[in-house]
Amino acid sequence: MLSIGLIGCGTIGTSICKAIDDGTIEAELVAIYDRNLDDVDKLLSTLERSKPQVMEVTEMVRNIDLLVECASQEAVYEIIPTALHAHCDVMIMSVGAFSDEKLYKTIRELAKENKCKVYLPSGAIVGLDGLKSASAEKIYSVTLTTQKPPAGLAGAPYIIRNKIDLDKITGKTVIFEGPASEAVKAFPANVNVAATISLTGIGFEKTKVKIVANPALTRNIHEISVEGAFGEFTTRVENVPSPSNPKSSYLASLSAIATLRKLSDPIQTGT
């Protein structure tokens, strides 16, 4: 059975661990880690059958087949190369880290050299299958429009740097417009999906991102519009925010779980 180690015991990490614990994912949860020890304890208290050891990444990678990152973009730098050097496959949620082209190339090379897979789930968006198919031919444009309730954007470096008072926003307001390369750095905990779209489609510079704060919303909305040789499509998802972290949509957790379930399934649907 697949042995899994997980870094980041927050919202997504807890959902994944529970899904392993209750058998939704066919795997053994061998090890977990988080820099925040309270989150580790909280997660452990939710598990009924699994008894993962708490260990740091250097020890963890000696005991697992696959490392799951659901922590932060900085964690990708800290843990993914270590895991690949140790011949572990990896699944990454903080995909925005790959706007750093050097990191992306390093991880790609390391994965090839060590014959490892790097899984990037669709996360909180829908339509990655269509974009993947479309990218076999010419794509003319890709635009992501993300709308969140103002509280879902709190703490983003862009909001802090520009001294935007989210409490004072009373109507639908465009907060940011620019390339995905800038969006994922300005909003590292809000639009990792822009990175996954960029890697699947036409890259970080050509992918356009618009971020809207909308106090009328209770859900996180992502709309993707794509034009290419195939024709055009628009997808829209209205995501229920995770109760423990309104920045992250529940669908992101479910997407991580689905990606891990797929590993043990002989039938693979979708592009």
Ligand X SMILES: NC(=O)C1=CN([C@@H]2O[C@H](COP(=O)(O)OP(=O)(O)OC[C@H]3O[C@@H](n4cnc5c(N)ncnc54)[C@H](OP(=O)(O)O)[C@@H]3O)[C@@H](O)[C@H]2O)C=CC1
Site residues (vs ligand OAA, CB under 6 A): 123-124, 189-193, 220, 239, 247-249, 252
Site string for ligand X, 225-264 (x = CB under 6 A): --------------------x--x---x------------
The smaller minimum CB distance to ligand X, of residues 154 and 230, is found at: 154
Q: Does 11 bind ligand X (CB under 6 A)?
A: yes
What strands, in cross-sheet order, belong to the sheet with 173-179?
173-179, 208-213, 139-148, 220-228, 231-239
The smaller minimum CB distance to ligand X, of residues 78 and 230, is found at: 78
Whether 85 is catalytic: no
Beta-carbon count within 10 A of 157 CB: 12
Number of shown-chain residues binding ligand X (CB under 6 A): 29
**191 binding partner (options ligand OAA, ligand X, none; Cβ < 5 to 8 Å by kind):** ligand OAA
Which bin fits 23, alpha (ψ -120 to 50), beta or left (φ > 0)?
Answer: left
Burial of 180 from C-beta contacts in 10 A (0-12 / 13-18 / 19+): buried
Q: Specify the length of the chain in residues.
A: 271
Among the options 222, 239, 259, 263, which is catalytic? 222
Closest distance between ligand OAA and the C-beta of residue 264, in Å? 25
Cα 28 to its chain centre, rounded Å, is: 22
Annotated binding-site positions for NAD(+): 124, 192
